[in-house]
Amino acid sequence: MASKTRQGFQKLEWQQIRERNEALDCRVYARAAAWLMGIDRWDEQRWEQLEEQLRPGKIEAAPAGVPNRSPQQQIKRRQSDWMGSRRGKWF
């Protein structure tokens, strides 16, 4: 909302209209999650791939949670050995 200062300039200030604002919080959290996933940088081809996954009759599709990666480029988990070998009884 805009209000005028003593000098006559307009000053923007936030005014609470409703008592609660969970909807705004949810929107901000969703936008932050989209930014973290890189959704705002997806090209048209990536959106078409996701749309293809939703088509009926599709049996196998690439996972939607791995942005811009083909199924052949899956991340291999590194095995940690900082506590030594876990093959024997080490506890």
pLDDT digits over 38-89, tens only?
Answer: 888 889 998 898 888 888 776 665 565 555 555 555 556 566 666 666 666 6
Domain count, the chain: 1
72 within some domain: no
Q: Are 71 and 53 in contact (CB under 8 A)?
A: no
Q: What are phi and psi of 28, to 5 degrees?
A: -65, -45
48 occurs within a structural domain: yes
- For residue 14, what are its two tokens? 């936030």
Q: Which domain holds residue 29?
A: 18-58
**Tens digits of per-residue pLDDT, 18-51?**
888 888 899 999 999 999 988 888 899 988 988 8
- Give domain status of residue 90, yes or no: no
Three-state DSSP at 54 gives helix
Q: Which residue has the tokens 């805009």?
A: 2
The answer to the question of residue 39 being in a domain is yes
Q: Is residue 45 part of a domain?
A: yes
Q: Cβ atoms within 10 A of the Cβ of 58, count? A: 9
Residue 24 lies in a domain: yes
